[in-house]
A and B are shown apart, each in its own frame.
Chain A
Amino acid sequence: DTEVTQTPKHLVMGMTNKKSLKCEQHMGHRAMYWYKQKAKKPPELMFVYSYEKLSINESVPSRFSPECPNSSLLNLHLHALQPEDSALYLCASSQDVGRPLWDEQYFGPGTRLTVT
């Protein structure tokens, strides 16, 4: 299995709602990522988990809360979002072989989020 899967594909939520995005991979990768992508822009890194521990938080507002229940799963909990948070949210994973080596990141199909 060489895929990263994400659910749901689309999500519409109000500013007072609480929802969660889910990501799963079964490639044995130990690093998992959340990115936010606006139209016609590159992906922006939000969070990195390495061996199930949060290793990078790119100063993301607390209304976004990541969770890594195990090495195959990654969640992003959403609460009190703003309309400007509407974007494509991409999950990715990689082997995490350790610096200075690098390895490929594989992206999931994304969740298209609309905040109304």
Chain B
Amino acid sequence: GENVEQHPSTLSVQEGDSAVIKCTYSDSASNYFPWYKQELGKRPQLIIDIRSNVGEKKDQRIAVTLNKTAKHFSLHITETQPEDSAVYFCAASFKTGNQFYFGTGTSLTVIP
């Protein structure tokens, strides 16, 4: 089955620095890659997604890059702020249905 690996599991950065979270996937048929942010006690919220027909997508301070050949995709957050502190999950679509494989999550802490 599909396997999505996510690294690092925890990440601490100083406010204003950049944060990068990386995921790799195994199913070459995966073609949709969302990123979710989950604050403590709250629901996962979609922050950005990318489809396999593009290599990069940007939305203000957040960007996602996709390398289909290498089967990895990354989340980049620039000019981090304390409110970016949360757990971030990557996901990859599964070929046979409305399913995502979620990565194991990255706990990001932005130190003021």
Which positions in A face B, CB cutoff 8 Å? 31, 33, 40-43, 45, 48, 50, 55-56, 90, 94, 96, 99-100, 102, 104-110
Contacts and interface: CB of A to CB of B under 8 A. Distances in A.
Interface of B: 31-32, 34, 36, 42-46, 49, 51, 87, 89, 93, 95, 97-100, 102-105, 107
A21 to B, nearest CB: 14
Contacts, number: 52
A48 B100 CA distance: 11
B31 A108 contact: no
Nearest to B93: A102
A64 B100 CA distance: 21
Given A50-B98, A102-B51, A107-B45, A40 B31 contact: no
A90 B44 CA distance: 9
